[in-house]
Structure 1
């Protein structure tokens, strides 16, 4: 992690590319952020660090107002096809990060905080483009960020976009089901539950700490490794670093981000497990695994439907974020959507490749990776 190679001061504000933020200030920013997501919280970055999964060039671009941290973006430079192998800047990304919006404090000064963060991003990049995946373009302070970029002369283009399923909690579960556009899905899930119950007692359990949480995380790792991800070598338990990440992420601890595991059980044995990070009223459903021998019963979807019910009955979150990519099965279960895009943003005065050429290169790369994933899953 690099320390303070950029520092700007103006109008009482301090903007810096600094070392790891102060613990209390970081937690306070997460708690005050406009639509916070857990991936740039202290908890998640520390877990990646403990597992050895932080890039060596990681920087924390921050904006302060007096002693208060009001904006933060972890990022790193890297070589990229959109620069023909040259350097670009990216927000921090790992295979387990599903959103990349900076943390920006909410309130009357939100637009100003976003503007000052853009000033800092210009200084930190030193000219190279920003390639920015998994950006929720209509949430929180992201519209302010994009508006500030355009106002300062950045060129911004969209590589690809999709609508991610989310569920905003209604007054109760019946209100959620009323008028649901996919009522047939719930009828199908009830039928599958009855069929699964022919094999044993079907149950649902949740844990947020202690031995039960440890047991469900271990069950998740076992289920994921036994399935197609294990065969492909991409399950978390296939590599010591990613298994260590799971242990660190779901160990719990102090701070504004909590952890949660939910399981569908058959005669007490977990047959589907979902792991979530909870903070700011949002439960981000980070990973799900299920017993693939029971695929015809759709245990993963049965579990997701039970999580929806539990959310309404217990109020553990105001929103469930599916954290999925395009084409998720949760599109038929969740009623709400949030727009997610990959963008390329060129700071003013940039004289490298044109934006349109960079967009074409990024789209080509996305298509090639999607084709490779389809081929891998057919093996």
Structure 2
């Protein structure tokens, strides 16, 4: 059973029902065609040839709007919670632009990551680089997705006092994520398996930089800027909550890569064959007998389905599933305790609110996709 959340009203899960969630998603999705057209029209205005304009549009349509959209929608949701009232149409559009900028950043990372990992599917469809006529052009396509962020920020926020803060958030978060990716690639190159490089500490460092900042801190920090929060202490407190939340999310992702189905997670899990420094293998290493370790050393990171199954057999023997379930419960309780550091009744509108963080937590707690 799920642990009981704290008894304050702030701590209750945000549960508006399936219909409300579907409506919120549709409202957010309805903004995408407008910003997509702004981007395509900008490329047209540069007198680019028709085939380049069509290719750019296809890049946007294929890679940006088909994910879960949790990161982007969290900007609008968090802004509304922080302001303590429904957003006006203009406010909603502007926060949705920020949300779609996060989704563009996500798309950029995924296009590049899939190439580096030689992945097959993403979000239930072939990876972009695998499409006919794309191939290594996907490297440039990732750059285009990133550049689109700064076009949109300039177009919609250049006259706002917090414009530079938005630029810094995206630049800083992008660098943090790329540093995390670098650590990951150096720790676990596909062509050289060496489990001595792995550890739970190294895994934690990778996931904090590679996932937590852009997936959790960035959307909330953007909403905080929009809501007029300027004091550094609030951003520090948000990071102290959201970084562990992002770490928990990535451990879930590692678990689902191994135990989730393609229908659930929208891709074929490849962490074992790709020699990924995942939470599961690090837990196995930490608890392995010499015989177990020999099996892991001989089979982890091999492009071989039977070798993959031998690794999974070690996971089963060592009870990795049960260890994950305990980790999830412990993480949930620890994050709830961190959230309780925020006053239950903020002194004024525009200050941090517990509900922002509980809404994140309950979107991912015990998720299956």
Band of TM-score, shorter chain: under 0.3
Looking at secondary structure, tell me which structure has more helix per residue. Answer: 2
Looking at secondary structure, tell me which structure has more strand per residue. Answer: 1
Query: Scaled by the length of structure 2, what TM-score is found?
Result: 0.28
Query: Scaled by the length of structure 1, what TM-score is found?
Result: 0.27
